[in-house]
Amino acid sequence: MSQNSASLDALFGPVAAKPDGSDVLAALTVAARERILILDGAMGTQIQGLGFDEDQFRGEAFAGCACHQQGNNDLLILTQPGAIEEIHYQYAISGADILETNTFSSTSIAQADYGMEDAVYALNRDGARLVRRAAIRAEQQDGKRRFVAGALGPTNRTASMSPDVNNPGYRAVTFDDLR
């Protein structure tokens, strides 16, 4: 367990069964009826502005990883959690009602390009925890409730067409792989 995961466990408790979410859905429905809800902005743009180098993307935990990691913005959830949480927090105090996780590429298919398939569960779990912690901090500051949404982008592979023009039946990924 990483130090970041341990500190998130201290805040949220161990990973356990969650309630059905009906209270959150009810609050979100009320808020949406009262006003236009604002989503946060582009995480990638904010991350690029920080200018992290390869070593900062890797952090201590992945210093020995064979694959290039610079540009793997999702990995920063594990290697630069304070920076990611601060971006979420800044969006919240700037007026965002809904904060999205920094998990756009946190699928085994997308992370395979970086050799980080085994980190996908931790990326999604800790990504949700970081954004929730930022939302709680903002609410403690101004009393305004925020909502957290998971972000999942498209994969960088397609199951609907072949990447090989000489073999139209070939698929680099199957529909089952995409589940």
48-70 pLDDT per residue, tens:
999 999 999 999 999 998 999 99
Is residue 129 assigned to a domain? Answer: yes
Q: Name the domain count of the chain.
A: 1
Q: How confident is the model at residue 1, as a pLDDT? A: 46
Does pLDDT of 25 surpass 60?
A: yes
Q: How confident is the model at residue 112, as a pLDDT? A: 92
pLDDT digits 0-9 by tens, 141-172: 999 999 999 998 888 777 778 888 899 888 88
Is residue 174 assigned to a domain? Answer: no
Is residue 39 assigned to a domain? Answer: yes
Q: How confident is the model at residue 170, as a pLDDT? A: 87
Is residue 12 assigned to a domain? Answer: no
- What CATH number is associated with residue 93? 3.20.20.330
Is residue 167 assigned to a domain? Answer: no
pLDDT digits 0-9 by tens, 97-155: 999 999 999 999 999 999 999 999 999 999 999 999 999 999 999 999 999 999 988 88
Is residue 140 assigned to a domain? Answer: yes
Domain that holds residue 96: 22-149
Residue 121 tokens read as: 């569960």
Does pLDDT of 2 surpass 60?
A: no
Contact 32, 44 (CB under 8 A): no
**What mean pLDDT, rounded, does the chain reach?**
89
Q: How confident is the model at residue 9, as a pLDDT? A: 65
In angstroms, rounded to a whole number, what is the distance separating the alpha carbons of residues 55 and 43?
20
Is residue 121 assigned to a domain? Answer: yes
